[in-house]
Amino acid sequence: MISTASVAMKAAELSELMRRRRSLRTYRAQPVPKEFLGQILEAAVWAPSAHNRQPWRFVVISRAATKERLAREMGAKLRGDLSADAVPPAVIDADVARSYQRVTEAPLLLLLCMSLQDMDEYGDERRQAHERTMAQQSAAMAGQNILLMASSLGLGACWMCAPLFCQDLVVSVLDLPADWRPQGLITLGFPAQQRQRERDSWETRTIRR
């Protein structure tokens, strides 16, 4: 029988893990051990998913040349988007440089994708859109498992939304199956920074009925 004390201890450990996970954006050059990568991906696939269809797909990116090409191509797209918004050139240069540095300097990148291949198909766009949302929600839950497992292994990680803004480009650069839709790029590595960010109380985000 599980004692109340051991339940409380497990809950405290989980709470600690969730609070300790922070988005860390600078890493030491030390590579991420192969066994850590396996543990992280194993954690990812234990996320819940709509109809248990497991619509997540992962691309492991460790080659410097691939990181460089991805960073360069996404940077060019970012530059184009910001120029169209008439953002000042100096701000664009800084944004593009920061993004390039983050992608190329992370020891390991995990591109989180989702696929509709095994999801239900509807004849109408209303239900199809909801089915797509469920696939995205499922992939995001896998993403959270990745972030939590990375944190528990002592790694830093950060979700970057950049690929979402240029999905076709990323599919083409990485030569991915056409049904893989990029959702987020997770940078991983041993942290070179510490970070603490406060949260608003859940009470400010909750209504009781």
Ligand X SMILES: Cc1cc2nc3c(=O)[nH]c(=O)nc-3n(C[C@H](O)[C@H](O)[C@H](O)COP(=O)(O)O)c2cc1C
Q: Which is nearer to ligand X, 39 or 144 (CB)?
A: 144
Please say whether the beta carbons of 182 and 167 come within 8 A.
yes
Residue numbers 169-208 binding ligand X by CB under 6 A: 184, 195, 197
Choices 31-39, 56-64, 80-88, 155-163; region in contact with ligand X by CB under 6 A: 155-163
161 binds ligand X (CB under 6 A): yes
Given the structure tokens 């339940």, which residue do they identify?
7
Q: Which is nearer to ligand X, 119 or 158 (CB)?
A: 158
Q: Parallel, antiparallel, or unpaired: how do β-strands 156-160 and 181-189 relate?
A: antiparallel
158 binds ligand X (CB under 6 A): yes
CB atoms within 10 A of CB 7: 10
Cα-Cα-Cα-Cα torsion 71, 72, 73, 77, nearest 10 degrees, comes to: 90
Q: What is the largest CA-CA distance in the chain?
A: 65
Number of residues forming the site for ligand X (CB under 6 A): 11
Choices 40-48, 49-57, 129-137, 156-164; region in contact with ligand X by CB under 6 A: 156-164
Rounded-to-5 percentages of helix, strand, coil across the chain: 55, 15, 30
**Phi, psi dihedrals of residue 56, rounded to the nearest 5°:** -75, 150
159 binds ligand X (CB under 6 A): yes
Q: Which is nearer to ligand X, 49 or 151 (CB)?
A: 151
Indicate the helix (H) or strand (E) that contains 187: strand 181-189
| DSSP string of 21-58, one letter each residue | --B---B-SPPPPHHHHHHHHHHHTTS--GGG---EEE
Q: Which is nearer to ligand X, 120 or 169 (CB)?
A: 169
Binding string to ligand X for residues 10 to 49, with x set by CB under 6 A, is what? Answer: ------------xx-x------------------------
Q: Which is nearer to ligand X, 24 or 59 (CB)?
A: 24
Minimal distance, residue 143 CB to ligand X, in Å: 7
Q: Applying CB under 6 A, which residues contact ligand X?
A: 22-23, 25, 158-162, 184, 195, 197
